[in-house]
Every structure is written in C-alpha cells, then in structure tokens.
Amino acid sequence: MRSHRIGFFIVVLLGACAKAPPPAPAARSETWPEFAQRFIEESFRADPYFGVQSGRHEFDGQMPDWSPAALAGEVARLKRARAQAAAFPAQALDEDERFEREYLYSVIDTELFARERARRPYTNPAWYLGYLDPDVYLNRPYAPLAQRLRGYLGFARAIPHLTAEMRANLRTPLPTSFISYASDSVGGFADFFRHDVAAVFSAVPDRDLQAQLAAADEAAARAMDELKGWLEAQRATGTQDFALGTPLLLEMLRATERVDLPFEQLQAIGRADLARNTQALQEACARYLPHGTLAACVSRMQAHKPGGGAVEGARAQLAQLRAFVIEHRVVSVPSEQQAQVAEAPPYNRSNFAYINTPGPYEHTEASTYFIAPPDPRWTPKERAEYIPGRASLLYTSVHEVWPGHFLQYLHSNRSASKLEALWWSYAFGEGWAHYGEELMWEEGLGDGDAEQHVGQLVNALERNVRFLSALGMHGGTMSVSQSEQMFRTQAFLDPGDARQQAERGTYDPEYLKYTLGKLMIRKMREDWMRQHPVAPGTDPRTGWQAFHDALLAHGSPPLPLLRARLLGGGALL
C-alpha cells in the first residue's frame, strides 16, 4: 500500500464538540486554481506531517495537534472548504476544474467520514499509528543528513505529547484486536527509537546534535513504553465490539468511494469473484499437481521458497518485471526511477509487504518496498510457512512495484493537478495494484507456467476473503475466528498469516476495497474496449496500454468519478 495516503491510519460526534462558524464563501476574486491551492496549503498547516510526506520540507519537525479543540476545528475547516467549493458556479469552471472539484469533495467526505461518522480518533488506535513513523527523515535522501536530523529531532520531541493526546482521546473499552495491533506497533517503535535511529545519523559529526538525538530518542522510547503499558492494561476490559454495522459500512463506501450498492449485491459480487478464482485455481492445480487437493497444490507452490529469503528474492524479481512491463507495453513507464527493497522496520509489520514513495513535491527518487519478516513469537513451523513461495512473492512484487503502487506513483506525481497527486482513493490505489496482478498473468508473465498461476491466484483469493470478511465481520454475520478459518480454507493462508489477516479486518474494514477496486477497473477496461475497439483480428491486449495510461493520468480519484470522465458513466460492476 502506498503508506502516506491511507485513511484508516472520532465523547460525542466532533461536530458537537464546538459549534463551527458559518461557511464562508470563497473570495469573489478567487479563481478555482487559487482556491484549490489554498485548500492544499491549509491542509498542510493543519497536518504538517502530511506536508513533510508530500515533499514540503519547510514543515520538517512539525506535527499535528490532536487536542479535542483542534480535531473539532479541522472538521469545521473541512466543512467550510466544501461549502466554498460548492459556491463556484459550474459554468465558471472548465471540464478539468469540475472534475477536480468532485475530486476535492471526495477528499473532504472521506476525511469527514473518518472523523465524524466512524469517530476513528476516539475509537481506533490505527488512526494515529501512521503519524508515528519517522521513515521520511531516516530513509528519504531529500537533504543532507544533518538537515534531516534537525527535522527528525522536532518529530521525536513531539512524540511524548502526541502519545498523551492519543491516550486522552481514545475511549475505552477497546476491541481486543485493536489493542493487539496498536501494542505490537508501539512496542516496535520503542525498540526502534532506542536501537536503530542513532545508527542512521551516526555520520553527523556535530556532538551537540548527537546529544540532542540521544535525549529525544530516549524520551520518545519512554513515551512508547508508557503507551504500550496503557494499551496492555486495556486487555482486561477488551471487547469484540469492533463492527461498524451494515448502515455505516455502506455509508463508508458512498462517502469514500462513491459506490452505492446494496449489501446483498456486494456479498454476491464477492462470492462470484471468489468462485471465479477458485475455479481458475482448480484448473491451474490440475496441471501443477494432478490428482492432488487444492491445499496440497498451494503447499507445493509455497514450499518453493525464493533464494536468499523474501527480501533477496524480491530484489531479483524487480528488474524482470520492469522489463516485462516495457516489452509488452502494459502501461507507459514515465521515468528511470527504481524502487529499493528492504526488511520492514519492527513497528510496521502488521502486513507482509508495503511500499513508501516520495510525495509530489519531492525531488528525490528514493522509494522503498518493505517486506516483513515472520513474528518471532510464532512457532518455528509458522515462521517457516509465513515466507511465501517464489511465485506468490512475484505477484506481491507486481502489486507493490511493477506495475502496481510504484508505477502508479510515477504517474500520479507527474499530474498537472497537485490536488490529484496528493490524495488517493483506497479502492483506486489498492484496486490498481491488485488488478495489476491478474493483468500481468493475462499479458503472459510466466509463459503459462502453472506454478506462477497458482501464485497469482492465491493472492487473488486472499483479497476475495478480505472482501467477504469485511462485509461479514462489520455486517454482523461473521466472527473473527470464522474469518480466520475462511482465510485458511479458501485462501489457503498459513495459520499466522490467516490470524493476522482476520484481525486486520476488524480495524481496517476498508481492506475490502482491493477486490472492489480491481473489479471496477476490469469493468472499465471492458467498456473502454467497446468504445475504443482494436482492428478486427488484432489481439485486444494491444488496446490495453491506452486504457491504462488514461486511467493513471488523473491521480487516484474514486473510480466512479474517473469512469464518468473517461466513459461518460455506466454500471460500476
């Protein structure tokens, strides 16, 4: 996932905390581009960490205010901005500006849903955890090391205050799975501050800065220890009360993705794609392990481990994938930039893989594809099983890098609209990366090799079970243990990964959007090809690159908005 855009990472509804001032219209002399730029600048001032992640390093060392008054003030700002955007007459905006306004509405509505309706700052520790990640200062070479150290010092010194605000805001009792996720992450942060940060900045010769670093790291580590202790103390009253409920789950999809479908239709869509991929797995396994069970077939694929481990295996795959994308004209590659591969830091290992990419104001080429090692608390057998097979890892690399998140970042950061480059829809971002996995198989990656197809399909089945688990657990028809069992029996995950994925669904119901986005993109491609047919007798895949380039040319908006722009509307699925 693209780490600096995800919205999952608010007592009473925030709108009731403080009465918002009446919406102020945009200044009469303000043009739409001026208004959009003002919204961006106000967003950075409200959330300077977002500014840093986006490449605006005048905000280095600054962090957001999580006090109740500040949280309420941000809700008021967003509502005011939405009203101001609506005040622009449609006839005063050109086509690009009207699209950008709809994009802006979706950005605001997504944030308001998280803050007002789901009340995440008050209910879900995951809302805070992404802000505690110092990676931008440590691993992004945007400035000399001493300059980055000064920015990091501001970040680290803010940690004790931020963790105190986090504890004050969260309302107990908390769901047990929320506690476990947050406690594991916070414990990783404490260890990281104490043992890893100093090595990154060891080349800075300034003794005073080094002394400040040691003091700031220790204070940050102590704050994390205290937060972990507070979280662990909540286990005694931990609950299973995590479900959004069906009405709020459907509202989430409308507000954040502009998808308005009945719950039963969503379930039917998920089951149909699970059945489609299960049938494809049966056919692949009939070639790969004739007369064997599906579980045995997947186990055989997973037993073929990447040479040198997952990190080394992924490094070896990236050059091959990039060359394939270019040779087969899957989608344009607009840059010579490459992604690095590294082991995930201890505080961010709740999912197997993710990528950090620079923001649209950045002038560095550093992007890192992180891969998490198995949890040392697991049994030796579980740790061994957690390392994916070579074929499964290949499609993880497809998802994260070529042509997934990394290539999408290369396109979106070049958008003429900074607003479109800065914010992304979960269903578009994860849907594109997941769509890319099946796309690469369709384009001929692996030359029909059955083992590779099994690897692609187990990744698809995992996302199918995420889709159904999110609907089931948050719609009240599935328990966490039932979700875990489904991951094991229908996605063929190992026990540790199945447990991890089921628990993720409790605090990240939006992980259903991997499959949702993929299916919307596939439907868009089908309809695009009807409107832009290739010559008779020509392989239809020759027309896909034009579709992919058009798809990636507008940032990462909710897919229904982009469908209307490219195709004039039509059924989403």
Prior bond of 403 cis (ω within 30°): yes
| C-alpha distances in Å from residue 568, one per residue of 52, 170, 524, 562 | 37, 44, 11, 9
Alpha helices in 304-351 (DSSP H): 310-327
pLDDT at 366: 81
**Secondary structure E strands in 421-532:** none
* Residues 6 or more apart whose Cβ sits within 8 Å of residue 234: 172, 173, 174, 179
Q: Of 93, 87, 70, 58, nearest to 18 (Cα)?
A: 70
- Give the predicted TM-score (pTM) of the model: 0.92
Domain extents in the chain: 14-237, 250-567
CA distance 7 to 423: 10
- List CB contacts of 153: < 8 A, sequence separation 6 or more: 61, 209, 212, 213, 216
- What is the pLDDT tens value at each position of the chain, 573 positions in all? 433 333 333 232 223 333 334 444 545 589 999 999 999 999 999 999 999 999 999 999 999 999 999 999 999 999 999 999 999 999 999 999 999 999 999 999 999 999 999 999 999 999 999 999 999 999 889 999 999 999 999 999 999 999 999 999 999 999 999 999 999 999 889 999 999 999 999 999 999 999 999 999 999 999 999 999 999 999 999 999 999 999 999 999 999 999 999 999 999 999 999 999 999 999 999 999 999 999 999 999 999 999 888 999 999 999 999 999 999 999 999 999 999 999 988 777 767 899 989 999 998 778 999 999 888 888 888 888 888 999 999 999 999 999 999 999 999 999 999 999 999 999 999 999 999 999 999 999 999 999 999 999 999 999 999 999 999 999 999 999 999 999 999 999 988 889 999 999 999 999 999 999 999 999 999 999 999 999 999 999 999 999 999 999 999 999 999 999 999 999 999
Q: Would you call 293 exposed, middle or buried from its count of C-beta atoms within 10 A (0-12, 13-18, 19+)?
A: exposed
CB 433 within 8 A of CB 404: yes
End-to-end Cα separation, the chain, in angstroms: 23
| Residue 292: predicted pLDDT | 97
**Which residues are within 8 A (CB) of 486 and not within 5 positions of it... i.e. 6 or more apart?**
465, 468, 469, 478
The C-alpha atoms of residue 42 and residue 513 are separated, in whole angstroms, by: 29
Side chain identity at residue 305, one-letter code = K
Q: How far apart are CA 315 and CA 318, in angstroms?
A: 6
Burial class of residue 6 in the structure, from the number of CB atoms within 10 Å of its CB (0-12 exposed, 13-18 middle, 19+ buried): middle
- Cα separation, 309 vs 170, in Å, equals 39
CB 420 within 8 A of CB 330: no
